[in-house]
Structure 1
Amino acid sequence: MGKEKVHINIVVIGHVDSGKSTTTGHLIYKLGGIDKRVIERFEKEAAEMNKR
């Protein structure tokens, strides 16, 4: 059998608008938790929004 992944719980605490969601999202992205195709789709959607 393959190696089991260790699961951890993380709590992020901070004031309103302190960047909690941004930091958490960036961490997930950097650790490979988001599929490359999903990132490419969001980048395309963001580019289309800026063109309008």
Structure 2
Amino acid sequence: MAPAYGLSAYDRWSEYDRIDIPVLCLRGAESDLLLADTENRCATAGRVRWW
């Protein structure tokens, strides 16, 4: 799914994969700011320790 603001080529996963610190994610069940698919990918990407 392309972002609503039209930046379909916006991809920062390589940078995200280099994060090596704990990450806290607060997401509302009906959030349209952070999609559930994106949250799930963040939780399994790279070396991030998901808290």
TM-score strictly above 0.5: no
- The structure with higher relative contact order (CA 8 Å, sep 6+) is 2
Please give the TM-score of this superposition, normalised by the length of structure 1. 0.27
Q: Which has the higher helix share?
A: 1
What is the TM-score normalised by the length of structure 2? 0.27
Structure having the higher Rg? 1
